[in-house]
Amino acid sequence: MRLFSVCAAVAVALCGVRALAADAFVRVSPRDCRYFELSDGTPYIPIGLNMIAPWGRTEAEALARMEKWMRLLSDNGGNFIRIWASNDFFNVEHEKSGVYDAEKARRLDAVLDMADRYGIRVKFTIEHFRHFFSERESWANKNIHHVSMGGPAKDVSDFFAGEKSREQFRRKLDWYARRYGDRPTIFAWELWNEVNCGTGGGVTIEAAAEQMEWTRVMLEALHERFPRNLATQSLGSFDNDRVRELYRELSCMPGNDMAQVHRYLDLGASLAVCKGPVDVLAADAVAELRAFRPGKPILLAESGAVEPSHSGPFKLYDKDRAGIILHDVVFAPFFAGAAGAGQCWHWDRYVEARDLWWQFGRFAEAVKGLDPAAEGFEPVRLDQGRLRVYALKGKRTFVAWCRDTQNMWETELAQGLAPQTLANVTLDLRGARLPETATMADLYDPWTNKHVTAAVEDGRILLPQIVRSAVVRIGLDESR
């Protein structure tokens, strides 16, 4: 199961991994603003995950570990990662606020060079801090920006609202632009990780308004300095009703080139959807943003599973040898209408620890050869019997991901129930109104990496066997 088959290798070539044009930038497709493409017109479906920073006893050891992760991702069809440029390992602004370390930036240079070799595009997150001098979340402190340390801000609110802080942040963008402004390897610049999670972030109307106004201003600054790169922003996990309007505002904000959402399996969340099947919570997050009609690509940009209220990685990860949580995170968003695969967190504690890189290869195989912008896909739900059916109907292709409703993290990981084999299931696609010329289907099993063909008769397909999930693809006649 872990071996990358010949079929998956073909998928790599067809999806553009390793073959991505070195001088082509990622852009929102002018053919369909809900999807991405490269500036040379090549389709681009982001397939990857958060890979925030490596660790190691030495710089060389850490960079070697980073290269290993990137190689494994690329070998399995991946073409995207997210990095925090503000993480301690990469952070160029670490000694004093407004002073940038060119030597430290060589680590970012090294990662971009790796990305070039492996056909991977990189989203850089510029900042992530939440506090000054806080005793909790030490990773989220950035004391150097406080006035007592020679910084420009009296508090976090002043960092967003104060003109002195804003001018200094613009100078930081200038520094990055001089060094990286011509790199097509960069997928996008993201202003902040979960901007509403800072001190007072989103808790008061005033704090949220400051952060949204800062975002508007800095998105414009990004576009001025990186005219050929995408620009975006992120919010904290969509796990409660209070953040819905913030998500609406950010998703539809001019200058924000993509609508991103973060959501996890979290038994401490207030939204019930965050406690159930992972495919449902992922697809619902995409549906929430689609309902805003943002007119731009949508991505599930952070997901996975956590202990209640984000108190640590999900303990049941250790039992997830098949990667069912990762599978649902990766597959569900795209088939629900997102522009790419869902992007998991816990790249080291889960994906690497359980050797689950092959799951990306299975998604790459499932979408190989697709040009979403040319298809003009419309999401369709065709749930029936034991299957949740997430489908995309395009001009030339109908493709659906079918998920067994009685298999999920709770049954397989918490209760230890093995997934059942569903035999000879009839899939009724009449609700999709397929043309009469659509008579044959390709059935792909992402767990065995095997394809079989099946006849489409009166809008129905007999699925000989399903374990957990399967993908159905049918070619359509454009003229009908």
Max CA pair span of the chain: 74
pLDDT in tens, 66-103: 999 999 999 999 999 999 999 999 999 999 999 999 99
Residue 21 pLDDT grade (very low, low, confident, very high; cuts 50, 70, 90) = confident
**What's the predicted TM-score (pTM) here?**
0.94
Which CATH number is correct for 381-475, 2.60.40.1180, 3.90.550.10, 2.60.420.10, 2.60.320.10?
A: 2.60.40.1180
Q: Give the chain's mean pLDDT.
A: 93
By mean pLDDT, which of 138-152, 178-192, 194-208, 270-284 is the weakest? Answer: 194-208
What pLDDT does residue 19 have?
56
Which residue did the predictor score with more confidence, 51 or 477? 51
Locate CATH 2.60.40.1180 in the chain: 381-475
pLDDT in tens, 392-412: 999 999 999 999 999 999 999
Locate CATH 3.20.20.80 in the chain: 6-375
Residue 2 pLDDT grade (very low, low, confident, very high; cuts 50, 70, 90) = very low
pLDDT in tens, 336-371: 999 999 999 999 999 999 999 999 999 999 999 999
What pLDDT does residue 206 have?
83
What pLDDT does residue 157 have?
93
pLDDT surpasses 70 at 180: yes
Superfamily name and number for 6-375: Glycosidases (3.20.20.80)
- C-alpha to C-alpha distance for 400 and 466, rounded to whole angstroms: 14
- C-alpha to C-alpha distance for 418 and 383, rounded to whole angstroms: 23
Percentage of the chain with pLDDT > 70? 94
